Amino acid sequence: MTQENRPVIRLRPKANARAIRHGAPWVYDNELVTDRRTKAIPPGAVAILEDDARAQMGLVAVNPNSRIFGRMLDRDPEAQIDGAWFLTRLRKALELRERLYDAPFYRLVHAEGDGLPGVVIDRFDDIAVVQPNAAWADTRLDLLADALIEATGVSTVILNGTGRARGLEGLPEVLEVVRGTTPSGPVPVPMNGATYYADLLGGQKTGLFYDQRPNHAFAASLAKGARVLDVFSHVGGFSLAMLAGGATEALAVDGSAAALALAEEGATAGGMSDRFATRRGDAFDTLTALAEEGARYDIVICDPPSFAPSKKTLDAGLRAYERIARMAATLVDEGGYLGLCSCSHAASLEEFRAACTRGIGKAGRAGQLINTGFAGPDHPLLPQLAESGYLKALFYRL
């Protein structure tokens, strides 16, 4: 589409144009002059963004149905959002990952952090799982998939159109193979000396949480000779890494029987099954039961789903983090280690740390905070977007 044919949206006089010029990637609906014309722009269309003086600021992807009305795509208002544009962004993302990792298992695209707003792509060797969580990317999935194959050489592309973010964009849920062949089963993923199994068509998110890789590695560095409890374990993220690091035994707790079965498969593949056990159940109920049984561990890790996915749920979420810290702390032996994680972008590091520290104190324990971890470098943070730095991991010695 030529510049002359593109719709134009304009900032209100009181909008923070400076923040956008300095890299802020989102334009909210209350920052724009909205009328019948702008509200009629189709979701996913590309528009030119102007400031209140009509100076062009770049190209934005528009969704009038979302509070995030515009997502910055390119500072050049004459850019063409075509296959070549996608290919350039994907090759830039790939170059970083190939410097970081010696095997093709990583997050290839981390949305705004890689200049593809709302787009998440996780790579599993010859397979890529794409989450187009914004309307502009959903409507250009064919361009994206073709460029992805050209840039990386993968043969299979899976569309994982599920999750809360798509609902906020007014997008339907869909899960399908859009290029190549359907995987014959769970995919083995080597990471931190362990083998994980990812269900790319039926698991949580894209099938595996690459973001915790450095925190798994830190926990593994503490694990030699340790008895380990891994709560909210999913497919054994922390527990398998710690067994690879020399833990004598590990118990993985999760509510999903399917996830625990994949964890057991990973333990078998790594020759660790004799040191690995699983327990299915609600995490809070299981922590209570383990305390009543008198169980104690050298390392306890709790990596729950988001307790505070929005500002509205922040207070309740912080109370839940405090509660989980209190319950988990009672199971840690003297001199042992407690790892607590949050993937809630609405909870700041300071708020999360305060909640965890309160919980440890209410358990009658004192803790040294020995490490603060974040997502790995394949999840690059956009400094102007706090939401891109969602993951936090705190490790205490009690």
Domain holding 11: CATH number?
A: 2.30.130.10
126-140, 272-286, 287-301, 377-391 — which is least confidently predicted?
377-391
* 343 included as an active-site residue: yes
pLDDT score, position 2: 58
42 and 172, same domain (yes or no) = no
List Cβ neighbours of 222 (8 Å cut-off, separation of 6 or more).
Answer: 242, 245, 299, 337, 395
Q: For residues 251, 253, 257 and 262, what is the CA-based torsion angle, rounded to 10 degrees?
A: -50
Q: Does 205 lie in the same domain as 159? A: no
Nearest to 139 by CA among 165, 118, 110, 154: 118
Dump pLDDT digits (tens) for 49-106: 999 999 999 999 999 999 999 999 999 999 999 999 999 999 999 999 999 999 999 9
Q: How confident is the model at residue 204 (pLDDT cuts 50, 70, 90)?
A: confident
Judge if 277 and 389 occupy the same domain.
yes
| Short-list 393, 394, 396, CA closest to 375 | 393
CATH assignment of the domain containing 126: 3.30.750.80
DSSP track, 305-330: SPS-SSGGGHHHHHHHHHHHHHHHHT
Q: Are residues 120 and 138 in the same domain?
A: yes
Residues 207, 263, single domain; the answer is yes
Q: Which pLDDT belongs to residue 4?
A: 60
Cβ(122)–Cβ(108) below 8 Å: yes
pLDDT digits (tens, 9 = 90+) for 96-129: 999 999 999 999 999 999 999 999 999 999 999 9
Q: What CATH number corresponds to the domain at position 222?
A: 3.40.50.150
Last residue of a domain, one of 120, 149, 179: 179
- Choosing from 302, 341, 343, 356, the catalytic residue is 343
Q: Assess whether 150 and 236 both reside in one domain.
A: no
- Specify burial of residue 205 (Cβ count, 10 A radius: 0-12, 13-18, 19+): middle
Same domain for 347 and 377, yes or no, is yes
Give, in order, the Cα–Cα distances in Å from 364 to each of 43, 116, 285.
53, 46, 20
381 and 326 fall within a common domain: yes
- Cα distance between residue 110 and residue 380, in whole Å: 7
pLDDT at 156 over 60: yes
Which pLDDT band, with edges at 50, 70 and 90, does 43 fall under?
very high
Domain count, the chain: 3
**Which 3 state secondary structure label does DSSP give 158?**
strand
